Amino acid sequence: MTDLKSLRGMVDLLPSEIKRWQNVESLARQHFDRAGLKEIRTPILELTELFARGIGEGTDVVGKEMYTFSDRGGRSCTLRPEGTASVARSVIENGLLNNGPQRLWYGGPMFRYERPQAGRQRQFHQLGVEFVGLESVLSEAELISIAWDFLKLVGLKGVKLELNSLGTNEDRSCFRKQLKVWLEKKYELLDKDSKQRINVNPLRILDSKNPNTQKLLEDAPSLNEFLSDKSRERFFYLQELLHQLSIPFEVNHKLVRGLDYYSHTAFEITSDQLGSQATVCGGGRYDGLISDLGGGNTPSIGWAIGMERLILLLGDSFTNKDVPCVYLIHRGSNTDGVALDVARKLRFAGIPIELDYSGSTFSKQFKRADRIGAQWALIIGEDELSKEIVMLKKLHSSSSDSLTTQFSFNLNEIDNLITFLKN
């Protein structure tokens, strides 16, 4: 075995699993098209500063998970750890908002330098939607429904939508102060991680998975209590709309997402089948992001789905194997050119066909045709060549009589063969 291997956490998508990716991707494209979203593709590599400023210096993503390096010109570059900051940058840079609010989707690889485990890789793929320049609760409800409906469309079951409102920046900073005061009183009872977090990002302690900490937090002040009337109204209206859409959800006041830019609505769609990486889809409102990056004041909201996690959850449900229609068997001097030419003609006519290269015995070539599951074998040997015909044989047919399963066609009238195969 070679000692050249893919880097840790970078995985190959092999031919045997690519079909389900293509299926999910094509359903996504269809679904987003129908919702009137436009695709956007941004570079995988950006200036480090974009993420540092956009995502937040205090976040884990920026603090310890970025793939950062200097390019030959000495610029600090980073492989994108998520899509939102790049999309925001592109929207600003290209002045897209001059054409009104942007309803966008994107997909592609993201990079985070973490220890891989189930449902987590260093290079992974996200599918995301961003509504840039839209403030209404109605647009939020639609954005969430687009995610929910997509997951239903691909056949995902057993997922849960959790919802929270983080309020405005003012609501949150007020809450942050109160929470900090409360936490400091209980400092000695906190777990190690939470103790460290108390100054950096106390809100995230709410998210702690430590059971003792969670127990302690039952009496903690709730973000909910600090929401302004306006924030509270928004949140209730969103819930009302989701009810009308019959999209089930749970309000989780402890749902605090890890990236700094969220405000008001935050949500997650989770599955209990994913091991500890339960989130399939996460998103929220990021009203401050665009202005933080130098654009105008632009309310926005978005989400991202983890493709690997989604595909993991879908399991084998998407693996309808595509079998080649025709396998072209040929043997004998001078059959190479004719065989290749016939193959091309069938392909032009839209018939999937594979050519045997081996030159081994007909018996072997038939075995191969059978193994790959071809429906038809097309045979060109020296006899056929001299008579200018090809033989067609139906595979997977009853073994009783093979004579009835053979057909012949003049090479010059390959159209007959094409017509026959198409029926």
Asked if 307 contacts 280 with a C-beta cutoff of 8 angstroms, the reply is no
Helix axes 137-153, 229-244, angle to 10 degrees: 40
Cα separation, 308 vs 311, whole angstroms: 5
What is the amino acid identity at position 289? L
Q: Report helix, strand or coil for 102.
A: strand
Q: Of 65 and 354, which has the nearer Cβ to RNA?
A: 65
Q: Of 84 and 298, which has the nearer Cβ to RNA?
A: 84
Question: Which single residue is written with the structure tokens 């909910």?
Answer: 224
Q: C-beta of 230: minimal distance to RNA in Å?
A: 26
Q: C-beta of 295: minimal distance to RNA in Å?
A: 20
| Contact partners, residue 367, CB within 8 Å, separation at least 6 | none
Q: Of 343 and 392, which has the nearer Cβ to RNA?
A: 392
Residue 250's beta-bridge partner residues?
162
Q: C-beta of 210: minimal distance to RNA in Å?
A: 6
Q: Report helix, strand or coil for 384.
A: helix
Cα separation, 86 vs 44, whole angstroms: 9
Q: Of 232 and 254, which has the nearer Cβ to RNA?
A: 254
Q: C-beta of 168: minimal distance to RNA in Å?
A: 20
Q: Of 301 and 305, which has the nearer Cβ to RNA?
A: 305
Q: C-beta of 82: minimal distance to RNA in Å?
A: 6
Q: Report helix, strand or coil for 163.
A: strand
Q: Of 218 and 229, which has the nearer Cβ to RNA?
A: 218
Question: Which single residue is written with the structure tokens 């000692």?
Answer: 3
Q: Of 114 and 135, which has the nearer Cβ to RNA?
A: 114
Q: Of 91 and 203, which has the nearer Cβ to RNA?
A: 203
Q: C-beta of 272: minimal distance to RNA in Å?
A: 11
| Contact partners, residue 97, CB within 8 Å, separation at least 6 | 91, 132, 133, 295, 296, 298
Cα separation, 271 vs 161, whole angstroms: 9
Q: C-beta of 152: minimal distance to RNA in Å?
A: 16
Complete DSSP assignment for 277-306: --EEEEEEE-TTHHHHTTS----EEEEEEE
Question: Of 400, 344, 341, 393, which Cα lies nearest the Cα of 369?
Answer: 393
Q: C-beta of 194: minimal distance to RNA in Å?
A: 8
